[in-house]
Amino acid sequence: MTTVLTLIAAADSRQSLPRLAGAVAAAIGASGEPVWLADEACDLILDAASAGPAEAAARTVIGEAEIDLLVQPVEHRRRRLLVADLESTIIENEMLDELADFIGRRQEVSEITWRAMNGEIDFAGALEARVRLLAGLPAHVLEEAARRIRLRAGARQLIATMRGIGAVTALVSSGFRVFAEPIGVELGFDHIAANRLDLSAGRIAGTVSPPIVTGETKRQTLLTVAAKHGIPLQQSMAVGDGVNDLPMLGAAGIGVAFHAKPAVASTARWRLDHADLTGLLYAQGYRRDEVIG
């Protein structure tokens, strides 16, 4: 089986990528010269039997350079299903942190969010505790918070390009549907799953309608959508940043930890620490001129 090693550079490391790619190719005994996908990304082809040692050797060559490295079989590299987390993945924000601004407790809530997403405290309990703090806020703050949403670089290109070849896309969030649905519709996701924040008399009630979207919910969404569209799991891709994303990352054909929390980055088989979301397209072998938008 043929294996591909993909190098994807952050903006500050693009100039050094050609030199490092050549050094990596020599170190791993790649078959031929680097295949350039874009100025910031290239493929190196190698024999599957040497993939493990080759990856270790490549990481040694790369050192501290801001260059991501992914190794995978060439077969089924272009995925037919993408399942993506929303917060800190498709968007830069954590929306509970944004809402906490309206009660002057952003730092406190942000620390709880980080600990929950790093697996240090129970996720569902932390979600319910943070939502309780919001009880009584007028519902219009949800619109104000939504105006703060910042899409991750490459998000539009990722979804547009995959939809352009007929891939199915699903957005799964342990945040709230009031934020996930507009973003999902704007970007063109086929399926959207998220929590429902309870409102009462025009105010945030401080509760979440059950069932809460958990890591298992995200994994099950991947399985259900794949089955519905007749897509083998080996042809699926999942991406996320928190511990509640690990179940779907593990179930997908390739599960990528994206700018992930330490507990996730240390666990996931594949990760992007430096690239933007177009890195997920280069990981599938797309060239720059194939990227839509």
- Tell me the mean pLDDT in the region 219-226: 98
Q: What is the DSSP string of 120-152?
A: SS-HHHHHHHHHHHTTT-BTHHHHHHHTT--BP
In angstroms, the CA 197 to CA 218 distance is 18
Question: How high does pLDDT run on average in the chain?
Answer: 95
Mapped onto helix, strand or coil, the DSSP state of residue 4 is strand
User: Quick check: is 242 in a domain?
Assistant: no
pLDDT of residue 153: 98
- CATH classification at residue 61: 3.30.70.240
The values of phi and psi at residue 64, to 5°, are -90, 5
User: Quick check: is 51 in a domain?
Assistant: yes
Assess contact for 90 and 152: CB atoms under 8 A.
yes
Residue 38 CB coordination number (10 Å): 19
CA 151 to chain centre: 12
In angstroms, the CA 186 to CA 263 distance is 31
Q: The domain containing residue 63 runs over which residues?
A: 1-75
Q: What is the DSSP string of 247-281?
A: HHHHHSSEEEEES--HHHHTT-SEEESSS-TTHHH
Assess contact for 182 and 173: CB atoms under 8 A.
no
Count of domains forming the chain: 1
Tens of pLDDT, residues 156-182: 999 999 999 999 999 999 999 999 999
Tens of pLDDT, residues 241-287: 999 999 999 999 999 999 999 999 999 999 999 999 999 999 999 99
What are the tokens at 271? Answer: 């990760």
Does 194 score more than 70 pLDDT?
yes
User: Quick check: is 283 in a domain?
Assistant: no
- Kindly report the pTM of this predicted structure: 0.95
What are the tokens at 80? Answer: 């037919």
User: Quick check: is 225 in a domain?
Assistant: no
In angstroms, the CA 189 to CA 156 distance is 11
- Tell me the mean pLDDT in the region 46-65: 88
pLDDT of residue 49: 66
User: Quick check: is 53 in a domain?
Assistant: yes
Residue 13 CB coordination number (10 Å): 19
Residue 157 CB coordination number (10 Å): 18
pLDDT of residue 52: 86
What are the tokens at 230? Answer: 């007749």
Q: Which residues, including other chains, have CB under 8 Å from residue 175's CB and lie 6 or more apart?
A: 86, 87, 94, 95, 96, 194, 195
CA-based nearest residue to 62, from 281, 238, 286, 273:
273
User: Quick check: is 230 in a domain?
Assistant: no
pLDDT of residue 97: 95
User: Quick check: is 9 in a domain?
Assistant: yes
User: Quick check: is 67 in a domain?
Assistant: yes
Can the peptide bond before residue 211 be classed as cis, meaning omega within 30 degrees of 0?
Answer: yes
Q: Which residues, including other chains, have CB under 8 Å from residue 291's CB and lie 6 or more apart?
A: 157, 161, 278, 281
pLDDT band at 1 (very low <50, low <70, confident <90, very high): confident
